[in-house]
Amino acid sequence: MDLKLQTLAVIGNGIIGHGITEVFSSSGTQTILIGRNEASLMKALSRIKTSLDEFSRRGLIEQRSVEAAIARIRISTQLDDAAGAELVIEAVPEEMELKVSIFERLDRITRPEAVLASSSGHPASELSVRVKNKDRVIATHFWYPPQLLPLVEVCGSPETSPDVIGWTCARLREAGKEPVVIDREMPGFIGNRIQFAILREAWSLWASGAASAEAIDAVVKNSIGRRLGITGPIESADLGGLDTMFRFAEFLQPTLDTSSSPPSVVGERRCSADPHIHGRSNVEWSELSAARKEELFRWLARDRDRNTA
């Protein structure tokens, strides 16, 4: 696929949208960030600058690269400004009709060879129902926050061109991401499905009174949570011995939760004055968020050292 990425357009300037903008602008791509109003776009630019400054303070990029990345970003409130981009990534709120209408419009205004991508967990076939050139529509599911987590799940519809999939993965790698191709469309793709399988069991254990939320989280953080960043679940089972793991699965799987909806007590807690299961103060939540961010930066530094070794 002979298409050089010179300009990226990002539709939506929320957390995911401005994170994607940061990723590509800092890797050298001219980027148009398109949002609903000037005020929110300026706020997004400020957040990108703050984030890049932190990368610089941590030695992950040079300070001169911060200003260069910001200079590559142009903001707009007009969807038509995406017309000249070779790659457009939609990152608007999870409202299907809004997404479908945006893809319909992009199909009309962009050049025929431009790639139209979505950052959401919705399959490309659902987003392209009103698109004529369906072969160029693809899902690129970034993980939050995009500038700190390397994974992008890439999945085309049955009508997406294989060349588009390959081209998209190449551009993501150039931007420093870790694209993983998913061979078949499914709701949520892979990461969310595994994440929610864990969450379903964790909520079920808590709701049934098997253990406290603190105990359940402590078990995960001090066991599989440490291993999964090194060996994935299938690798872990292979290392543990497939015969042993298969036999244990035969014993354990019939007892696991298979509910098709979350426990009602979780729904009740969601609608309460304090919509959390853990009883923590706002300060404690802020500290936990900061600790998680610190660990994600540590992983990024490790990735950089490994890639430059």
User: Tens digits of per-residue pLDDT, 58-95?
Assistant: 999 999 999 999 999 999 999 999 999 999 999 999 99
pLDDT of residue 306: 86
Q: Is 67 a catalytic residue?
A: no
**Structure confidence at residue 1 as a pLDDT band (50, 70, 90):** confident
Sequence-ordered list of residues with C-beta below 8 angstroms from that of 156, at least 6 positions apart, any chain: 124, 137, 138, 139, 162, 164, 165
Q: Residue 44: exposed, middle, or buried by beta-carbon count in 10 A (0-12, 13-18, 19+)?
A: buried
pTM for the predicted model, two decimal places:
0.94
79 touches 107 (CB < 8 A): no
pLDDT of residue 114: 98
What is the percent of the chain where pLDDT is above 90? 96
Residue 309 has pLDDT above 80, yes or no: no
Residue 198 has pLDDT above 80, yes or no: yes
Residue 254, CA atoms < 13 Å, CB-side half-sphere: 4
Kindly report which listed range (79-83, 164-168, 299-303) carries the lowest average pLDDT score.
299-303
Domains of the chain: 7-181 (3.40.50.720), 192-278 (1.10.1040.10)
Alpha helices in 139-241 (DSSP H): 162-174, 189-207, 213-221, 224-227, 233-240
**Structure confidence at residue 132 as a pLDDT band (50, 70, 90):** very high
| Average pLDDT, rounded, for the chain | 97
* Rounded alpha-carbon distances, angstroms, from residue 67 to 18, 33, 44, 54, 221: 16, 17, 15, 13, 38
Report the C-alpha gap between 174 and 275 in whole angstroms: 40
200 touches 259 (CB < 8 A): yes
Q: Which of the following is catalytic: 95, 113, 153, 185?
A: 153
